[in-house]
Amino acid sequence: MNTGDQAERADMPALYDMHCHLDFCRDVTGAARELAKRQVAGGLCCMVTPEVHDEVAAELAEDQWLVGVGLHPWWIERVGEAGVATACDLLAQRPCLVGEIGLDFGTAHLPSKDAQLAALRRIATTIQPGSILSLHGVKSVDAILNILGDAGVLASCICIMHWFSASSPELTRAIRAGCLFSIGKLMLASKRGREYARQLPAERLLLETDFPPQNKATDPIDVAQSMSDELHQALLQLAHIRKVEPTLLAERISKRSQQLIATLR
């Protein structure tokens, strides 16, 4: 990061990473501490399986991070019935961050479609009102909204679409359902993603990194620097797309992020 970038960030409010995988870090608390030094104050730590949720939540209990009860669709067959049961037991206890959950009907994951649907239907019935959901949806957004709507989750919880890449009609439906959208550089890399980011209502915008990669999460300083860089670059790109001053956009998004986190602290 050059001197100009440092000065620009110093004038901005702290940001919040509203979809990341901090639990992939070997040193979770160290990474959170280093992120705070780089103007990333907290966010949503989304987990792909539920087994070590309590341990990670305890490590981040004093910080502005929420730790999710997650069961990522890619992992459903791997964890099996025991993993689904563990997730449901945790979700039934209280309102919480639920994530990462969802459906993936991309070619690579179609063989597990039935297992994904069964797991999400079961999970949806155990989610407590007031929870916050971070949702993975690939070629499946309508199916996700159908399941969450039937279970009453859309009406009683806050639903965040992570890295939205679905069709324009599905975008309209998700907006009408009250969903928020976490946006990062990966979404903004496509023409469709940039156009969606331009169209979305300002009050529905959040920032994300989806970092760190699971196999590159060793050194907490490296993890924090890469996450901070990704988050700030996404902010600048989003501000350019929406033709708004970056600091003003950061203030709005950070305020909304803080409000969401505060509902479950």
Kindly report, residue by residue over 179-223, the tens digit of the pLDDT. 999 999 999 999 999 999 999 999 999 999 999 988 776 799 999
At which of 154, 182, 210 does a domain end? 182
DSSP of 46-87:
--SSSTTHHHHHHHTTTTEEEE-B---GGGHHHHHHHHHHHH
Residues 100 and 153 in one domain: yes
* Beta bridge partners of residue 15, listed in sequence order: 40
pLDDT at residue 172 greater than cutoff 80: yes
Mean pLDDT, residues 118-142 taken together: 99
**What pLDDT sits at residue 20?**
98
Answer yes or no: are the C-beta atoms of 22 and 45 closer than 8 Å: yes
Query: Is position 167 within any domain?
Result: yes
Count of domains for the chain: 2
Residues 72 and 158 in one domain: yes
Answer yes or no: are the C-beta atoms of 24 and 67 closer than 8 Å: no
CA distances to 51, 74, 100, 218 from 78, in Å? 12, 8, 15, 24
User: What rounded mean pLDDT belongs to the chain?
Assistant: 95
Query: Is position 206 within any domain?
Result: no
pLDDT at residue 235 greater than cutoff 60: yes
Cα 198 from chain centre: 19
**What pLDDT sits at residue 217?**
66
pLDDT at residue 4 greater than cutoff 80: no
Which of these ranges, 21-35, 70-84, 216-230, has the smallest mean pLDDT?
216-230
Distance CA 25, CA 27 (A): 5
Mean pLDDT, residues 85-106 taken together: 98
Query: Is position 157 within any domain?
Result: yes
**Other CB atoms within 10 Å distance of the CB of residue 165:** 18
What percent of the chain has a predicted confidence (pLDDT) above 70? 96
Query: Is position 71 within any domain?
Result: yes
Distance CA 127, CA 96 (A): 8
Distance CA 76, CA 71 (A): 7
**What pLDDT sits at residue 215?**
78
pLDDT at residue 110 greater than cutoff 70: yes
**Range 31-58 burial, b when 16+ CB lie within 10 A, else e:** bbebbbebbbbbbbbbbbbbeebeebbe
Residues 257 and 168 in one domain: no
pLDDT at residue 6 greater than cutoff 60: no
Query: Is position 56 within any domain?
Result: no
Task: Express the helix, strand and coil content of the chain in percent, nearest 5 each.
Answer: 55, 15, 30
Residues 70 and 177 in one domain: yes
What is the token pair recorded at 108?
A: 């690579």
Mean pLDDT, residues 122-143 taken together: 99
The pLDDT-based confidence of 1 (bands split at 50, 70, 90) is low
**Other CB atoms within 10 Å distance of the CB of residue 240:** 13
Residues 71 and 165 in one domain: yes
Q: Residue 106's domain spans which residues?
A: 66-182
Closest by CA to 68, choosing from 79, 58, 53, is 53
pLDDT at residue 7 greater than cutoff 60: no
Mean pLDDT, residues 38-52 taken together: 98
Mean pLDDT, residues 33-51 taken together: 98
Mean pLDDT, residues 133-150 taken together: 99
Query: Is position 37 within any domain?
Result: no
Residues 151 and 230 in one domain: no
Query: Is position 193 within any domain?
Result: no
What percent of the chain has a predicted confidence (pLDDT) above 90? 92
**What pLDDT sits at residue 233?**
98
Mean pLDDT, residues 148-175 taken together: 98
**What pLDDT sits at residue 3?**
44
pLDDT at residue 2 greater than cutoff 80: no
At which of 153, 182, 211 does a domain end? 182
pTM of the model: 0.95
Query: Is position 175 within any domain?
Result: yes
CATH number of the domain that residue 77 is part of: 3.20.20.140
The pLDDT-based confidence of 11 (bands split at 50, 70, 90) is confident
